[in-house]
């Protein structure tokens, strides 16, 4: 049977080289019993090729069963495929044959095979390798002689790498790969398919025939068709039913094409969507930039205070919110960037704020650098004593995070 005869018999429309190649592979593999894995996007017509393979094989007079693996609940998939014995689980009031038993001598088409649970995948592998299976609730091994044609719209190798699909089963199913091209790769076929669909629907609904203007043809061929042939057929039916003007222009056609689908033509990005669509890396960059800005603000603030000759303690008293905010930002970023302590002359003053920025001249910093550790330890001890050892309350008193307080206690050996 030639490729053209196959197209006529199974209602396939198109002359794309990729489509012809897929038909040729199906025609060559059909007379054998080789397992075939059909891959392609949703709506591209994978099930049609399973019928081609069955009808052109020696099993064409045997049964053919199509099973949507993604539509069967995980708890019942084994029973559906391999059958079960009476009383094997709640609700099993009688024994039941599974699909592999019913289809003995024929072909079983496992659509969306990538959705199978891992346990069921192991059972399926044994069927493919040994032709054996066991009913749920039974210990008796049964035989089946059927051909398996599987299909999926997911990237199977990626599923194998992610541990969602067995590698041995993947290679066993993928004996002969058959890829169905998406509609966007068959641009020369889109207009023919649309004309066929609108003619069929016009006849079905007894409405006048539809013609396409040149700009409408361009819209058809340039659109991405993420839903493939299924989407094209749906739009053809909508137009055949709803449009009073039977001469369809490009503008009319665009009213039926969704504009928020990633498979569409290139379109201007919604600015609000672009603003909200941050990746994890973008968020990290934003946090780092914000921290850098806070550090710059702090340096500028300290420089202004030094330049004006103002007392930094007085500034802290007058602007507590600013100081607290700056310290929290630094504590999140670089905890060693600045040391916060209570001045010695304010320790016993209960009405005074418990924070200030220690500032001395460059010579004084060198002279006091060894005593800062002691002062810091002293402040932590007093805060812990005040709150009876409660570290959370002490950290709030000191204006630092609880995590930082834990680290300081460990560093200063204050346990």
For the four alpha carbons of 296, 300, 306 and 312, in that order, the dihedral sign comes to negative
The rounded distance, in Å, linking the Cα atoms of 112 and 69 is 6
The rounded distance, in Å, linking the Cα atoms of 205 and 211 is 16
pLDDT for res 100:
95
3-class secondary structure, 166: coil
Mean pLDDT of the chain: 80
pLDDT for res 310:
57
Average pLDDT on 144-152 reads 94
pLDDT for res 289:
61
pLDDT for res 278:
44
CB 183 within 8 A of CB 208: no
The burial of 337, by beta-carbon neighbours within 10 Å (0-12 exposed, 13-18 middle, 19 or more buried), is given as middle
* Residue from 54, 103, 61, 63 nearest 82 by CA: 103
How many residues would you count in the chain? 415
Higher pLDDT: 386 or 294? It is: 386
Q: Which range (162-176, 206-220, 263-277) has the least confidence?
A: 263-277
pTM beyond 0.85, yes or no: no
Q: What is the DSSP letter of 37?
A: E
Backbone angles phi, psi at 358, to 5 degrees: -75, 125
Instruction: Give the confidence band of 408 by pLDDT, cuts at 50, 70, 90.
Output: confident
Average pLDDT on 211-229 reads 91
pLDDT for res 244:
84
pLDDT for res 98:
92
Q: At residue 353, does pLDDT exceed 50?
A: no
The rounded distance, in Å, linking the Cα atoms of 169 and 295 is 56
Q: At residue 90, does pLDDT exceed 50?
A: yes
Q: At residue 347, does pLDDT exceed 70?
A: no
Q: Which range (185-199, 238-252, 323-337, 366-380) has the least confidence?
A: 323-337
Backbone angles phi, psi at 404, to 5 degrees: -65, -40
CATH class of this structure's domain 3-181: alpha beta
Instruction: Give the confidence band of 352 by pLDDT, cuts at 50, 70, 90.
Output: very low
pLDDT digits (tens, 9 = 90+) for 165-198: 999 999 999 999 999 999 999 999 999 999 999 9
pLDDT for res 324:
59
Q: At residue 359, does pLDDT exceed 80?
A: no
The rounded distance, in Å, linking the Cα atoms of 69 and 126 is 17
pLDDT digits (tens, 9 = 90+) for 116-144: 999 999 999 999 999 999 999 888 999 99
The rounded distance, in Å, linking the Cα atoms of 160 and 174 is 13
**Which residue intervals of the chain bear CATH 1.10.8.60?**
185-276
Task: Indicate the CATH number of 185-276 among 3.30.300.30, 1.10.8.60, 3.10.20.30, 3.40.50.1000.
Answer: 1.10.8.60
Higher pLDDT: 359 or 185? It is: 185
Partners of 205 in beta bridges: none
pLDDT for res 308:
67
3-state secondary structure 53-120: HHHCCCCCCCCEEEEEHHHCCCCCHHHHHHCECCCCCCCCCCCECCHHHHCCCCEEEEECHHHCCHHH
pLDDT for res 19:
94
Higher pLDDT: 374 or 214? It is: 214
**Which residue intervals of the chain bear CATH 3.40.50.300?**
3-181
pLDDT for res 354:
43
For helices 371-386 and 391-398, angle between their N-to-C axes, nearest 10 degrees: 130
For the four alpha carbons of 381, 386, 392 and 393, in that order, the dihedral sign comes to negative
CB 255 within 8 A of CB 223: no
pLDDT digits (tens, 9 = 90+) for 95-104: 889 999 999 9
């Amino acid at each position: 049977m030639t490729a053209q005869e196959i197209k006529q018999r199974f209602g396939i429309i198109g002359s794309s080289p990729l489509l012809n190649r897929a038909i040729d592979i199906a025609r060559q593999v059909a007379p054998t019993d080789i397992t075939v894995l059909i891959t392609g996007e949703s709506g591209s017509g994978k099930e049609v090729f399973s019928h081609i393979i069955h009808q052109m094989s020696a099993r064409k007079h045997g049964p053919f069963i199509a099973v949507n693996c993604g539509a069967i609940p995980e708890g019942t998939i084994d029973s559906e495929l391999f059958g079960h014995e009476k009383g094997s689980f709640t609700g099993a009031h009688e024994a039941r044959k599974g699909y592999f038993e019913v289809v003995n001598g024929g072909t079983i088409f496992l659509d969306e095979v990538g959705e199978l649970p891992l346990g069921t995948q192991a059972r399926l592998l044994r069927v493919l390798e040994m032709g054996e299976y066991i009913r749920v609730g039974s210990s008796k091994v049964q035989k089946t002689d059927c051909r398996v044609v599987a299909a999926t719209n997911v990237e199977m190798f990626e599923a194998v790498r992610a541990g969602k699909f067995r590698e041995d089963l993947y290679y066993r199913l993928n004996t002969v790969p058959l890829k169905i091209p998406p509609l966007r790769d068959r641009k020369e076929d889109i207009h023919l398919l649309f004309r066929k669909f609108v003619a069929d629907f016009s006849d079905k609904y007894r409405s006048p025939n539809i013609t396409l203007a040149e700009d409408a043809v361009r819209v058809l061929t340039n659109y991405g068709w993420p839903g493939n042939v299924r989407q094209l057929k749906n739009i053809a039916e909508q137009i055949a039913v709803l449009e009073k003007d039977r001469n369809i222009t490009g503008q009319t056609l665009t009213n039926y094409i969704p504009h928020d689908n990633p498979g569409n033509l290139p379109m201007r990005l919604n600015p609000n969507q672009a603003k909200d669509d941050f990746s994890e890396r973008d968020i990290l960059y934003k946090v780092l930039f914000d921290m850098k800005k806070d550090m710059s603000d702090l340096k500028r603030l300290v420089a202004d205070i030094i330049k004006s000759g103002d007392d930094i303690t007085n500034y802290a008293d007058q602007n507590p919110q600013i100081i607290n905010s700056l310290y929290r930002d630094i504590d999140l970023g670089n905890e060693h960037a600045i040391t916060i302590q209570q001045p010695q002359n304010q320790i016993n003053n209960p009405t005074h704020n418990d924070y200030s920025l220690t500032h001395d001249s460059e010579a004084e910093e060198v002279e006091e650098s060894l005593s800062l550790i002691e002062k810091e330890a002293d402040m932590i001890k007093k805060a812990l004593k005040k709150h009876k050892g409660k570290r959370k309350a002490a950290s709030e008193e000191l204006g630092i995070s609880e995590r930082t307080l834990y680290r300081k206690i460990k560093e200063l050996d204050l346990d």
